Chain A
Amino acid sequence: MRAQPEAMSTAQDSKSEHRAQPRGIFRLLDNDIAFSFWQSKVTVLAALVTLLIVLGALLAPWIAPHDPFDLKTLSLLDAHTPPAWVRDGDLRFLLGTDDQGRDVFSTILYGLRLSLAVGLMSVAFAAVLGIALGLVAGYAGGAIDALIMRAADVQLTFPAILIALLIDGTAHALFGQYRDESTTIWVLVLSIGLSFWVQYARTVRGSTLVERNKDYVLAARLIGIGPVAILVRHILPNVIGPVLVIVTINLALAIILEATLSFLGVGLSPTEPSLGTMIRIGNNFLFAGEWWIAIFPGITLAALALSVNLLGDWLRDALNPKLR
């Protein structure tokens, strides 16, 4: 298609092609990106699935038939029940129960909640840390910049999972055997967050380097505004754009990293399990024939991961000027 002509339109052209721009919300539905969205049935499906899962997680306390974290309601007599449509199944427990008598369906919903919460918090942490360091590195330059960027380089030599495990292990060693649920979550958020700050820092640093030489920054400095105020009020709004794209990709990665850590046994514990922990527990019962404990959380995680990736793919294609 290289030879397709790209002649400019004449005055006659613009007249014949002119039509009124749609107003308000219809503009949102009518523009190019929205068009490509509705075009692809797969992307719409992926968005629907993601929406369903997120809603399920948010509304868990209201739609889950049981509360799997409330130990008083659990009974070991209910344990190892298969899904409702299988012989020996129980309609109270749609997808069966695990070895503690927890309803698998409810646990999935509550586990999703935890996964999403941890994911969001870690991404927020990584973003705040990365943006801050990026701003400082880009604005201050010199030794500080070099230091931060060397640290980033060293960290980038390793995959995120390794970093998360190391931090987790170190925290474990430093703070002894912590059994407290909330400590586990904070350590998890810290580990995952620290694994991901680098991309934010690099992107923001690049943009900051460009911005700091611009006139509005020089003007602010002349007036005597302090560096922190300049960074936060002036430069930050101008460099935040690409960060949002990173956040979307990062969120999916963070959720998967949390699931992996939980599966490995260094994440959320069995008393308040996330999807990863459930799969870990279920893994032990696969050969005993009690497949539902691992498979249903597995399917949910797979659906979430696939949908978010499909959405990410579509978003990247839609925003890619080369493909327009």
Chain B
Amino acid sequence: MTQPVLSVRQLRVEFSLRRGALVAVNGVSFEIARGEVLGLVGESGAGKSLTASAIIGLLEPPGRIAGGEIWLNGQRIDRLAPEAMRAIRGKRIGMIFQDPLTSLNPLYPVGRQLVETIETHTHLRGADARRRAIALLAETGLPAAQERIDHYPHQFSGGMRQRVVVALALAADPDVIIADEPTTALDVSVQAQIIALLKRLCRDRGTAIMLITHDMGVIAEAADRVAVMYAGRVVEIGGVRDVIKQPLHPYSAGLMGSIPTLDSDLERLVQISGSMPRLTSIPSGCPFHPRCPRAFEPCSSARPQLARRDQSLVACWLYEDVSAGAAR
């Protein structure tokens, strides 16, 4: 298999507080290949955004990377000096955020923000940079890019703004784009457009995409593979069809069951009782065991690791040999 674009191994993110260290991301591992869309899904508080911030090097203190490795195209990036990391940001890793309105500086025209990014990462200057900016806007499907390039952010609708944001993230042609809830703040009809845009760009340019969301519908539509996160860990990771149709981990099963569909004959949506534990009180063993309908004896004492099962990886005692696990 060719080298993955992005490889995260046992990533660990901690918050060093006076009372001690809180572990928010605890041993997360996954890979994204070139031209692939990996969905990262889970409830709020699972650690998805923190993982993204860690990868792009924008963790705010007191948060810090306390362990693990992050590799980008064969280069290790989690221990780089700030200036070296800055050179990578935007150029080789792009990121887009949830709310396109607050992602753009309201006081500058859109074109100026684009040109600034282009001039930072490429050799293009002045009129050349501007031409490229217009081309980028057109590529993201923005109509009348030539005129609208000088407009201010508030003059665009939500969907158009998100296209501008995508254009900005693409400006330096990065190898991977991290999209943190890119459709959550948009109307449903516009969501579909943006998803389609991301997929098309991914195909045309070969950019890998890490798509963070809590919306399973978006995952089903856009992702090739999906990783399910819970309490700072990946509990299942596999092809999107496999995970949706045949979820292995009880939590994934709960997530899939809670999607309302028109053709299901259930009278009530499946609910997972309880909620995600706080960082200060993560249960021992498997963190999901208090809410798990299939918890049994080893679940409260030992933490399961990701192990292969059919085509996916899953971290659950239901699939792992307890004795093999206890020996570890």
Could you list which residues of chain A lie within 8 angstroms of chain B, going by C-beta atoms?
A: 1-13, 16-17
Contacts and interface: CB of A to CB of B under 8 A. Distances in A.
Contact of B24 (A5, A12, A16): A5
A307 B99 CA distance: 43
Q: Which 6 A-B pairs rank lowest in CB-CB distance, beginning with the nearest?
A: A5-B45, A7-B45, A7-B276, A3-B49, A3-B50, A10-B274
B15 A4 contact: yes
27 contacts: A1-B60, A1-B63, A2-B49, A3-B50, A3-B53, A3-B63, A4-B279, A5-B24, A5-B276, A5-B279, A6-B44, A6-B45, A7-B43, A7-B275, A7-B276, A7-B278, A10-B274, A10-B275, A10-B277, A10-B290, A10-B291, A11-B274, A12-B281, A12-B290, A13-B281, A16-B281, A17-B281
Contacts of B46: 5
A3 B15 CA distance: 11
Contacts of B47: 5
A228 B275 CA distance: 52
Contact of B44 (A1, A2, A7): A7
A17 B277 CA distance: 13
Contacts of A12: 281, 283, 290
B275 A5 contact: no
A11 B50 CA distance: 26
A286 to B, nearest CB: 50
Nearest to A8: B275
A17 B278 CA distance: 12
Contacts of A13: 277-278, 281
B65 to A, nearest CB: 14
Nearest to B274: A10
A9 B278 contact: yes
B37 to A, nearest CB: 22
A5 B47 CA distance: 7
Contacts of A17: 281
A5 B278 contact: yes
A12 B278 CA distance: 11
Nearest to B49: A3
Contacts of B279: 4-5
Interface string B46-88: 1101100100000010010000000000000000000000000
Given A7-B43, A10-B275, A13-B277, 12 more contacts: A4-B24, A5-B46, A6-B45, A7-B44, A7-B275, A7-B277, A7-B278, A8-B275, A9-B281, A11-B274, A12-B283, A13-B281
Chain A interface mostly helix, strand, loop or mixed? Answer: loop
A161 B2 CA distance: 77
Contacts of B291: 10
B258 to A, nearest CB: 17
B91 to A, nearest CB: 23
Nearest to B283: A12
A13 B280 CA distance: 9
A8 B46 CA distance: 12
Contacts of A8: 275
A1 B15 CA distance: 10
Nearest to A11: B274
A304 B275 CA distance: 52
A139 B275 CA distance: 47
B40 to A, nearest CB: 13
Counting chain B CB atoms within 10 Å of each CB, which of A2, A4, A5, A12 scores highest? A5
A13 B290 CA distance: 11
Contacts of B283: 12
Contacts of A2: 49, 60
A146 B45 CA distance: 50
A100 B281 CA distance: 72
Counting chain A CB atoms within 10 Å of each CB, which of B46, B47, B281, B283 scores highest? B281
Nearest to B61: A1
Contacts of B49: 2-3
Counting chain B CB atoms within 10 Å of each CB, which of A3, A8, A10, A13 scores highest? A3
Nearest to A10: B274
Contacts of B281: 9, 12-13, 16-17
Contacts of A10: 274-275, 277, 290-291
Contacts of B60: 1-2
Contacts of B50: 3
A2 B46 CA distance: 14
A5 B44 contact: yes
Interface string B80-122: 0000000000000000000000000000000000000000000
Interface in B275-328: 275-279, 281, 283, 290-291
A17 B281 CA distance: 10
Interface string B27-45: 0000000000000000111
Nearest to B232: A5
B289 to A, nearest CB: 11
A2 B44 CA distance: 12
A11 B291 CA distance: 11
A16 B282 CA distance: 12
A8 B45 CA distance: 10
A104 B279 CA distance: 61
B227 to A, nearest CB: 17
A151 to B, nearest CB: 37
B10 to A, nearest CB: 20
Contacts of A16: 281
Nearest to B275: A8
A156 B276 CA distance: 52
Contacts of A4: 15, 24, 279
A69 B142 CA distance: 82
B170 to A, nearest CB: 24
A23 B283 CA distance: 32
A7 B15 CA distance: 16
A39 to B, nearest CB: 12
Nearest to B22: A4
Contacts of A6: 44-45
A11 B273 CA distance: 11
